[in-house]
């Protein structure tokens, strides 16, 4: 402890109160700054996750990659050969926080009794053999207005 002859003077009550308020203000500023920086990092991370495509697993056979989000399918027209196996890999680009469908998407063709559902931010595959040439409609009936929404449907052309 310092002695009075060293020039140390004990702060008065008013000075202590002022210093306490000043220190409290600094702590509050640092706390809010840390909170704001944390929120910004979290928001950036979530935005990156929301707008990046998941990596697709390599598959040995020929497949058709179809991506779906709330806007629609990335391939509105798909052409295949009749009698040849077709593998559709459907990828949902939406996350589970979407209120309509929870981020799930479907690719279905009624005439071939084919339906595959991709969970949020993931992929799912189905293989089928389209045996009758013609033009068919594929669609998602889980979200986004289902078949009534023109962006959630497309055309499957089976060529002879």
Residue 54 CB contacts under 8 Å (≥ 6 apart), including other chains: 91, 121, 122, 123
Position 18 scores a pLDDT of 85
Position 29 scores a pLDDT of 93
Position 100 scores a pLDDT of 65
Q: Are strands 86-92 and 64-69 parallel, antiparallel or unpaired?
A: parallel
Residue 42 CB contacts under 8 Å (≥ 6 apart), including other chains: none
At residue 151 the predicted structure's pLDDT band, cuts being 50, 70 and 90, is: confident
Return phi, psi of residue 28, to 5°: -65, -45
Mean local confidence (pLDDT), 5-25: 82
The residues that bridge with 124 in the sheet, in sequence order, are 90
Structure token pair of residue 48 = 């990156």
Domain 64-159, classified CATH 1.10.287.370, yes or no = no
Asked whether residue 42 carries a pLDDT value surpassing 90, the answer given is: yes
Q: Tens of pLDDT along 104-136?
A: 899 999 999 999 999 998 999 999 999 999 999
- Max distance between CA atoms of the chain, in angstroms, equals 106
At residue 143 the predicted structure's pLDDT band, cuts being 50, 70 and 90, is: confident
Structure token pair of residue 30 = 């640092």
Q: Which residue has the tokens 């926080």?
A: 97
Residue ranges per structural domain of the chain: 4-51, 64-159
Position 70 scores a pLDDT of 82
């Amino acid at each position: 402890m310092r002695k009075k002859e060293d020039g140390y003077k004990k702060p008065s009550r008013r000075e202590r109160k002022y210093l306490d308020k000043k220190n409290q203000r600094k702590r509050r500023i640092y706390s809010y700054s840390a909170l704001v920086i944390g929120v910004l990092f979290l928001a950036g991370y979530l935005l990156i996750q929301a707008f990046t495509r998941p990596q697709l697993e390599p598959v040995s056979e020929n497949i058709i990659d179809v991506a779906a989000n709330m806007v629609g399918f990335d391939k509105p027209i798909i052409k295949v050969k009749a009698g040849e196996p077709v593998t559709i890999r459907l990828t949902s680009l939406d996350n589970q926080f979407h209120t309509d469908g929870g981020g799930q998407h479907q690719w279905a063709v009624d005439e071939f009794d084919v339906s595959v559902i991709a969970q949020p931010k993931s992929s799912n595959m189905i293989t089928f053999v389209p045996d009758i040439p013609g033009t068919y409609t594929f669609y998602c009936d889980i979200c986004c207005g289902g078949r009534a929404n023109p962006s959630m449907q497309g055309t499957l052309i089976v060529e002879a």
